[in-house]
Chain A
Amino acid sequence: MTHFPHTDKPTAELNGISLSYPKGAAVLNGLDWQLLPGQVVGLLGRNGAGKTTLLETLLGLREPQAGTVTLFGQDALTLDDATRARVGYVPQQNDLFEAFTPAQLLAYFRSFYPRWNEAKVDGLLSRWDIARDKPIRKLSGGQKQRLSIIRALAHEPDLLVLDEPVASLDPAGRRDFLRELVGEVLDRGATVVFSTHILSDLERVAFNLAFLSGGRVALQAPLDELLEQVRAFTGTVTEMATLMTRLGAQPLKRTALEAGRERVLARLPAQATVPAGVAVDRVNLDDLFAELT
């Protein structure tokens, strides 16, 4: 069930975002990014690349020095209550009130949301084996993470932002979580963006990947397209320039090799055919992460 009429308008839009910390280098540097309804976007980047900063900026938790962020067409810094109710967030650092029990915490937040799926909450608490009446302080790291996810899913948000949501989960917990995430998208067409370092999880659910590097989203594209269209070519600099022009390929990264040769990671247009005799390698997700972040 979709709560809002289908629209092609972006769920979130970031334009020209620049942000740096006091006495620090720029973390985000003229970043442009767009999230469309129903997209599941895996945000990838090295440690310290600014993934958390980007997600916090997206939610209006950080004010950029330049640029604009809009969520559902509103300025992210001044969202009204109706729009806030459409956003769910799982932060990297647990923000649960630790003296509460899970039942108390969920009752607390339920009072603020106009819609709340109690059946889903009950089901997830039972399936994920979270004691309702045990103080949150005494739950394990994984259980706290699951509770944080339940709280974010309970009001059925149209935009779900998750910062390293599976970091504390075991493989079974990650599988359950990913199943829920896919359900959210398939059932309601929600937009989901999450950062992670576990690439195998991305292969299961992320239909889109965004690579964050140098303070910008270096590339965002559907995962299957990337795996199908991105290739690594090796040859002399002249050969590579000719080949890229001939194929109409978009070079993503160039790495100089010895003796005037180079390795070019490039995205081919759909239906492009690589001529015989060209040194070309397929790439997997690990390669993409290593090369593009």
Chain B
Amino acid sequence: MNAAQFSQIALAPWRQRDLSAPWGRWLIAALLLLVSAGCLIWLPPEAGWRVPIGMAIVIVHGSWIALAGSLLEQNHPHAARCVPGHWRALRRAALLGWALCSGLATLLAWLIVPGWGHWEILLLGNSVVVTFLLWTSRLWWLWLLLAFHSPLVGVFAGKLTPLWSALATLWQANTYGMLLLALLAQAWLVTTVFGDGGIKHQARYTRQALRRNAMRMMSEGRQPGAAAWGRHAERLFSPFVAVFSAWQRRLLAGADNTRLRSVMARADIVLHGHQHWLNQLMSLGTVVGLTLISFTAVHLVYSLDLSNVFRHGALGMGIGIASAGLSPGFALPVSLWQSRREQALLRLLPGMPQGATLNRVVATRQLRNFGVGWVVTLLALLALARGTDHTFPLYLPLAALPLAALTLTRRPAAMRAPTALTSVLPLFALFVLAGLLYLLVSELGASPWWVTAVTLALAAALLPWRLRRLAAAPMALPVGRLG
């Protein structure tokens, strides 16, 4: 690998960055700087400098994830087989990146570990993390393994414990030898992540390309179908498709063009696509089911007291429930963009409302879907809040109301193509507003009832104004034609 090849390979992640929403990166950078500055100013000196260094470790790992993803994208089977030295250059660039990231992260970790911990353990830990991150770019399900590591470790504890003990003994007896062996094994793993252009590599690259494309669609706020994730995902989600088809057949059997409700229920299939309320319901049901299974598994393996888990994990669970319950509603306007080509045809269908009625109906149905999700979320959060002191999650549905009044009543005809920022911004605003409301109550001593009343009044004032504005706007469909 010469310098020209290395510079081209190293430049690729920067060239492949998402250009549609550069403000997202600036926003993250500004937030990191603000948090770092705040920590240095307000935290005690011995703790203050640790936060920026900790964030620097996260940045190193984040940069490595971007580089690893790019290296695997560059590892095209045609290039691996037909371009001289391409496969070799990628492996060497990956090895160099792995060594640099492991070294840098170790150095930074060494600076913040109290008592200047053992650098050997830090190097081993960081190199394992960096190797793991590289392999997750190839095998996404490794993240699932990480998520379920707790019950898995419990299940295999009988077999793993003697192995860990033996390794620990060996480590104690010959630390540097074991470290060298581990680093060499990881270096080998780093080089084997790349394909040589063979038939297996081609199949894997095709699957990865599908996944990248689906991820890009999601980052732009679009909802790819199961088929966009490949054959396996399509098969996995086939029960969802069967349920949706059955519901669709029932709807079509009772079609009545003289009833607005019947017309719009059918129009929703096109307008909301993968964000249709039935799809949302099935997705939510699956998430809840999987969560219950993992809780049960952990409970059975470790005999944990679940009330303890709920008490200590209420904040994280609350944020998770609020995100899962509220974000689909905010995604509805963006989902309109996906079906804009079909919407011209939709407008010509018998019984389809026109003009201001159509604008009102489209917005009302979005608000109704959001409202159902909002009520379910609120009930779940209230149930969760009963056994804990964490009240922050309760401010999320409250903050969602004025934001929904703004975002769900946008003029569809003037919409612009969604970007990564378009889909993230409502959620970002939701957390910021909820955080401000929480601070008003917890830090500044404002009455929670007063804060709730003001927020509700704001939402109540915004909604009629936005609906009046929407009624006077150009016809909603097809969306984006005036954007």
Are B8 and A99 touching (Cβ within 8 A)?
Answer: no
Known: A63-B198, A104-B15. A112 touches B86 (CB 8 A): yes
Q: Count the A residues whose beta carbon is within 8 Å of the partner chain — how many?
A: 28
Interface positions, chain A 199-220, Cβ under 8 Å from B, are none
Q: Which residues of B contact A81 (CB under 8 A)?
A: 84-85
- Interface flags, A135-170, vs B, CB<8A=1, else 0: 100000000000000000000000000000000000
Are A84 and B84 touching (Cβ within 8 A)?
Answer: yes
Are B81 and A95 touching (Cβ within 8 A)?
Answer: no
Report the Cα distance A61→B196, complex, angstroms. 10
Are B16 and A89 touching (Cβ within 8 A)?
Answer: no
- CB of B220 closer than 8 Å to a CB of A: no
From A62, A97, A107, A110, contact of B74 by CB (8 A): A97
Are A63 and B199 touching (Cβ within 8 A)?
Answer: yes
Known: A61-B202, A62-B199, A111-B5. A99 touches B16 (CB 8 A): yes
- Interface flags, B75-99, vs A, CB<8A=1, else 0: 0111101111110010000000000
From B5, B73, B78, B89, contact of A89 by CB (8 A): B78
Interface positions, chain B 14-36, Cβ under 8 Å from A, are 15-17, 19
- CB of B197 closer than 8 Å to a CB of A: yes
Interface positions, chain B 229-259, Cβ under 8 Å from A, are none
- CB of A91 closer than 8 Å to a CB of B: yes
Least CB distance from A266 to B in Å reads: 40
Least CB distance from A112 to B in Å reads: 5
- CB of B2 closer than 8 Å to a CB of A: yes
Interface positions, chain B 40-76, Cβ under 8 Å from A, are 73-74, 76
Q: Which residue of chain B is the closest to A61 with respect to CB atoms?
A: B81
Are A91 and B78 touching (Cβ within 8 A)?
Answer: yes
Least CB distance from B215 to A in Å reads: 13
Q: Which residue of chain A is the closest to B206 with respect to CB atoms?
A: A93
Q: Is the interface of B mostly helix, strand, loop or mixed?
A: helix
Known: A62-B199, A63-B198. A109 touches B78 (CB 8 A): no
Q: Which residues of B contact A25 (CB under 8 A)?
A: none
Report the Cα distance A107→B84, complex, angstroms. 15
- CB of A113 closer than 8 Å to a CB of B: yes
Report the Cα distance A108→B6, complex, angstroms. 10
Q: Which residues of A contact B5 (CB under 8 A)?
A: 111-112
Least CB distance from B80 to A in Å reads: 9
Q: Which residue of chain A is the closest to B80 with respect to CB atoms?
A: A61
- CB of A72 closer than 8 Å to a CB of B: no
Interface positions, chain B 122-166, Cβ under 8 Å from A, are none
Report the Cα distance A108→B16, complex, angstroms. 13
Are B81 and A59 touching (Cβ within 8 A)?
Answer: yes
From B2, B16, B73, B81, contact of A60 by CB (8 A): B81
- Interface flags, B184-212, vs A, CB<8A=1, else 0: 00000000000001110010000000000
Are A99 and B15 touching (Cβ within 8 A)?
Answer: yes
- CB of A85 closer than 8 Å to a CB of B: yes
Report the Cα distance A135→B15, complex, angstroms. 10
Are B78 and A108 touching (Cβ within 8 A)?
Answer: no
From A59, A63, A99, A107, contact of B82 by CB (8 A): A59
Are B89 and A108 touching (Cβ within 8 A)?
Answer: no
Are A109 and B83 touching (Cβ within 8 A)?
Answer: yes
Are B85 and A112 touching (Cβ within 8 A)?
Answer: yes
- CB of B4 closer than 8 Å to a CB of A: yes
Q: Which residues of A contact B199 (CB under 8 A)?
A: 61-63
- CB of A100 closer than 8 Å to a CB of B: yes
Report the Cα distance A113→B11, complex, angstroms. 18
- CB of B12 closer than 8 Å to a CB of A: yes
- CB of A185 closer than 8 Å to a CB of B: no
Known: A59-B81, A81-B85. A111 touches B4 (CB 8 A): yes
Least CB distance from A132 to B in Å reads: 13
Report the Cα distance A272→B442, complex, angstroms. 103
Are B16 and A97 touching (Cβ within 8 A)?
Answer: yes
Least CB distance from B46 to A in Å reads: 44
Q: Which residues of B contact A79 (CB under 8 A)?
A: 81
From B17, B89, B197, contact of A112 by CB (8 A): B89
Known: A81-B85, A113-B83; 4 extra A-B contacts, CB below 8 A, are A84-B81, A84-B82, A85-B84, A101-B15
What residues of chain B have their CB less than 8 Å away from a CB belonging to chain A? 2, 4-5, 7-8, 11-12, 15-17, 19, 73-74, 76-79, 81-86, 89, 197-199, 202
Closest 5 CB pairs of A and B: A81-B84, A99-B16, A111-B4, A84-B84, A111-B5
